[in-house]
Amino acid sequence: LLADDGHVRATIFAEMSALAAATGSVNLGQGFPDVDGPASVAQAAADAIAAGHNQYPPGPGIPELRRAVAAHQERHYGLSPDPDREVLVTAGATEALAAAVLALAGPGDEVLTLEPFYDAYGAVIALAGATHTTAPLRATPGGFRLDVDALAAAFSDRTRLVLLNTPHNPTGTVLTPDELAAVARLAVAHDAVVVTDEVYEHLVLDPGVRHMPVATLPGMAERTLTVSSAGKTFSFTGWKIGWVSGPEDLVTAVRTVKQFLTYVSGAPFQPAVAFALDDPGVAAWVRDLATSLASRRDRLCDGLTAAGFEVVRPQGTYFVLADAAPLGFDDGATLCRELPALAGVVGVPVTAFTHAGSDVDRALRSWVRFTFVKRDEVLDEAVARLSRLR
Ligand code: PMP
Ligand code: GLN
């Protein structure tokens, strides 16, 4: 959590968005859409404010939203959490993940994540006083893939939690059934709980690729907490409505911690998200979002390739990893600090998602993450500017 000067460091997203604003750069760093979600969902929130949903909602979340989350898990995945005992509404996925780690891991425990990993994981594992171990994703011709032998080697008798993420930020990988089966087998063998971050569950970009929740694998429902949120699915990242579902004892543990983090949040947004999860018109909007993101992915990947980067085309999320080494840049962190001046574009160094000095950190040292959840003209402008790097 501490920078070299001893101060608590700012998240990479805050740092890079501030840099983009200060320099007038095209911001392909922090992942947030530049077009809001469905007007009907925004209207539902406005209606909820007008109808007086403005005081503390119930601790576990309003019943309509818990029911809508349970129905969503049933409809898409055949999972059937009890909305009253096995679903908890949180302040975004971030709080669900933080409360889960704080509830279930402490000093002496190991929490195993993929590497690279979303930056909040490292921070919350540190806050819990637990030890952070990782299993590498490696760039292959078929995309970033889990090194299953290294995964097996990363487990120990102290592995208390596996903090999984699919579709995966920052690589855009969607874990395959075989990769998930390996995680499940090892989690069972080591009696570890799996916390799975599935906030990009609906942002899968290729027809042949499917998101599979690890909780649907045999023997996993009883040891898995599944986390998601409204931010990515409905393009309302600022609303911070998330949820976690799983077995009652684990959800109760998360709720116990959650009470003292935020207690509750987002009263008028909860009914709006319940509406969004239930409404067929909104579901069609989400499918269109995924289709449009696939074309924006191709637009940015093709543009980055033409500009001289080497890219690994992602299967999901709204991020692409691009290697700047072919352009002569061997340090992504330095490049990202200089990129506003060099080209008027902001990206995020992939080493913000690695452990300093790890083999993944070394392998991805020259890589930059760019988001493509921006309008076509913004992507085109970014590519035109990046083409000057050659
Ligand atoms: N997990 C991942 C992998 C993310 O990329 C993000 C950021 N959008 C979050 C969690 C945070 O989600 P929320 O905004 O719902 O807290
Ligand atoms: N999840 C978003 C990203 O990876 C940003 C979230 C944040 O700013 N903490 O870019």
The pLDDT tens digits for 9-18 are: 778 888 899 9
Q: Report the candidate in 352, 345, 353 with the shortest Cα–Cα distance to residue 371.
A: 345
CB within 6 Å of ligand 2 — which residues? 11, 13, 30-31, 169
State the pTM of this model: 0.97
User: Which pLDDT band holds residue 293 (cuts at 50, 70, 90)?
Assistant: very high
Start-to-end C-alpha separation, the chain: 36
Q: For position 2, what pLDDT does the model report?
A: 60
Count CA within 13 A, CB hemisphere, residue 198: 24
Q: Are 44 and 276 in contact (CB under 8 A)?
A: yes
Look at residue 234 and tell me whether its pLDDT is greater than 60: yes
Backbone angles phi, psi at 7, to 5 degrees: -80, 150
Instruction: Kindly state the average pLDDT of the residues 288-307.
Output: 98
Q: To test the ligand 2 pocket, which listed residue (15, 17, 19, 32) has its Cβ within 8 A of the most ligand atoms?
A: 32
Q: For position 9, what pLDDT does the model report?
A: 72
Average pLDDT, the chain: 96
User: Which pLDDT band holds residue 8 (cuts at 50, 70, 90)?
Assistant: low
Q: Which atom of ligand 1 is nearest to the CA of 241?
A: 15
Look at residue 369 and tell me whether its pLDDT is greater than 80: yes
Which architecture characterizes domain 40-280 according to CATH? 3-Layer(aba) Sandwich (3.40)
Give pLDDT tens digits for 31-66. Answer: 999 999 999 999 999 999 999 999 999 999 999 999
Q: Which atom of ligand 1 is nearest to the CA of 197?
A: 1
With pLDDT > 70 as the criterion, what percentage of the chain qualifies? 98
Q: Which atom of ligand 2 is nearest to the CA of 120?
A: 9
Q: For position 10, what pLDDT does the model report?
A: 78
User: Which pLDDT band holds residue 7 (cuts at 50, 70, 90)?
Assistant: low
Identity of residue 327 = L
Look at residue 147 and tell me whether its pLDDT is greater than 60: yes
Q: Which atom of ligand 1 is nearest to the CA of 31?
A: 8
105: CA distance to ligand 2 center in Å?
24
Look at residue 4 and tell me whether its pLDDT is greater than 80: no
Q: What is the DSSP letter of 129?
A: T
CA distance readout (Å), 340 to 51, 182, 335, 346? 45, 42, 9, 6
Look at residue 117 and tell me whether its pLDDT is greater than 90: yes
CATH 3.90.1150.10-classified regions of the chain: 12-37+283-389
Q: Are 162 and 193 in contact (CB under 8 A)?
A: yes
Q: What is the ipTM of this complex?
A: 0.97
Spatial separation of the C-alpha atoms in residues 71 and 68, rounded to whole Å: 5
Residues 6+ apart with CB under 8 A from 60: 66, 84, 87, 88, 89, 255
Instruction: Kindly state the average pLDDT of the residues 291-305.
Output: 98
Instruction: Kindly state the average pLDDT of the residues 284-309.
Output: 98
- Shortest-distance ligand to the CA of residue 17: 2
Look at residue 5 and tell me whether its pLDDT is greater than 70: no
CATH 3.40.640.10-classified regions of the chain: 40-280
In CATH, the number for domain 12-37+283-389 is 3.90.1150.10
With pLDDT > 90 as the criterion, what percentage of the chain qualifies? 95
CB within 6 Å of ligand 1 — which residues? 31, 92-94, 118, 165, 169, 197, 199, 229, 231-232, 237, 240, 242
Coil vs helix vs strand at 226: strand
Give pLDDT tens digits for 175-198. Answer: 999 999 999 999 999 999 999 999
